[in-house]
């Protein structure tokens, strides 16, 4: 019996690998719009897809990002100013993209733009801190998707949304984990709705990688800003040692967990855009696969215990 079972598992695995490696034919006439191309994943992805032969439309927040990308790549890559938090900026970019793609439509939309800070204990936050992150990571992503969806639908193309492994489990307070959880939910409903029209929706779930979002100096400076604005009563309830240990935990996470090979993420995005049968989710990074995903499936009490080992306790803790 075990022989038949192992044989069946082996054949299923071989079948999945063959199916997973099937690619679409010609990419030279396919246009892909990527947001957040100034630095990090978006910048690397734009250059990578350009070399692969795609017509890349790169959205950048700054004019410097636009100029740098267009100078250093082929004529197939074109860049445009795109602020995902600004409705008028999105509409201008939509008109430009419509003129570029014509009747063929937009094969790929990669929602990559994002920000991480402010992060920190929930009590340290104000609503404006949540808005800063949600407006980019979630609401901006939704606005861009709904604006460009008709063009993607016309091409029967792909929507690739940058979530995070932190969308499965919240490691810190603030808008980041909240926004990525929202991206997961929005993508799930969009995937089911668009399936009938031949549009595929994929979610990228990176672990910790060394990008502008994980710059430890920026994170430490922002934590200091949050700490300084707390009332004396709240600061006393946590204690100076809590703040110092919390900063050390963030520093440790950035140094110990962050991967430096960003191509692991861009390769997954390329697969989502070029595979005949793209995966629904792409978990990327050793920490995502070996720590965060298993932790997200554990009983809550066990997951809380493991995170409590990492995080400091306030001075006035009752536990």
Q: Which residues are catalytic?
A: 176
- Beta strands across the sheet bearing 108-111: 77-81, 55-60, 31-34, 108-111, 158-162, 200-206, 281-284
When computed from its CA atoms, the radius of gyration of the chain, rounded to whole angstroms, is 21
The set of residues, in sequence order, having a beta carbon less than 8 Å from that of 153 and lying 6+ positions away, is: 105, 194, 197, 199
Q: What phi, psi does 49 have (nearest 5°)?
A: -70, -30
Residues 140 and 109: their CA atoms lie apart, in Å, by: 13
Among 107, 98, 124, smallest CA distance to 55 is for 107
- As given in the structure block, the two tokens for residue 63 are 């004019």
CA 48, CA 74: separation in Å to the nearest integer?
11
Can you read off the two tokens belonging to residue 314?
Answer: 């306030």
Beta bridge partners of 57: 33, 78
Question: What does the block give as tokens for 209?
Answer: 């990688």
Element (H, E) at 244: helix 240-257
- Alpha carbons 297 and 288: distance in angstroms, whole number: 12
Q: Rounded to whole angstroms, what are the CA distances from 271 to 22, 66, 146, 150? A: 10, 25, 23, 23
Place of tokens 């990527």: 34
CA-CA distance, 276 to 280, in Å (whole number)?
Answer: 12
Please tell me the total number of residues recorded for the chain in this structure: 319
The H or E element spanning position 278 is none
């Amino acid at each position: 019996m075990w022989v038949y079972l192992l044989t069946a598992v082996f054949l299923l695995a071989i079948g999945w690998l063959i199916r997973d490696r099937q690619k679409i034919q010609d990419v030279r006439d396919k246009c892909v719009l990527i947001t957040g191309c100034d630095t990090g994943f978006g910048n690397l992805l734009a250059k990578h897809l350009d070399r692969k032969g795609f017509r890349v439309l790169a959205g950048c927040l700054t004019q410097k990002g636009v100029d740098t990308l267009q100078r250093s790549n082929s004529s197939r890559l074109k860049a445009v100013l795109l602020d995902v938090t600004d409705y008028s900026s999105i509409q201008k970019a939509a008109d430009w993209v419509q003129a570029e793609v014509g009747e063929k439509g937009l094969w790929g939309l990669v929602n990559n733009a994002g920000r991480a800070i402010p992060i920190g204990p929930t009590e340290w936050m104000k609503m404006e801190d949540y808005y800063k992150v949600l407006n980019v990571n979630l609401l901006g992503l939704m606005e861009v998707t709904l604006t460009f969806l008709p063009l993607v639908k016309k091409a029967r193309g792909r929507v690739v949304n940058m979530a995070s492994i932190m969308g499965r489990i919240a490691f810190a307070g603030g808008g980041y984990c909240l926004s990525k959880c929202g991206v997961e939910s929005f993508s799930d409903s969009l995937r089911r709705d668009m399936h009938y029209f031949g549009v595929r929706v994929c979610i990228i779930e990176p672990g910790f990688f060394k990008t502008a979002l994980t710059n430890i100096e920026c994170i430490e400076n922002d934590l200091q800003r949050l700490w300084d604005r707390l009332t004396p009563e709240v600061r006393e309830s946590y204690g100076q040692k809590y703040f110092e240990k919390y900063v050390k935990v963030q520093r440790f996470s950035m140094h110990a967990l962050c991967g430096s090979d960003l191509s692991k993420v861009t390769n997954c995005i390329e697969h989502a855009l070029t595979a005949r049968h793209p995966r629904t989710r792409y978990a990327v990074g050793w920490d995502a696969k070996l720590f965060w995903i298993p932790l997200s499936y554990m009983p809550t009490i066990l997951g809380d215990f493991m995170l409590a080992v990492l995080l400091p306790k306030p001075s006035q803790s009752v536990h």
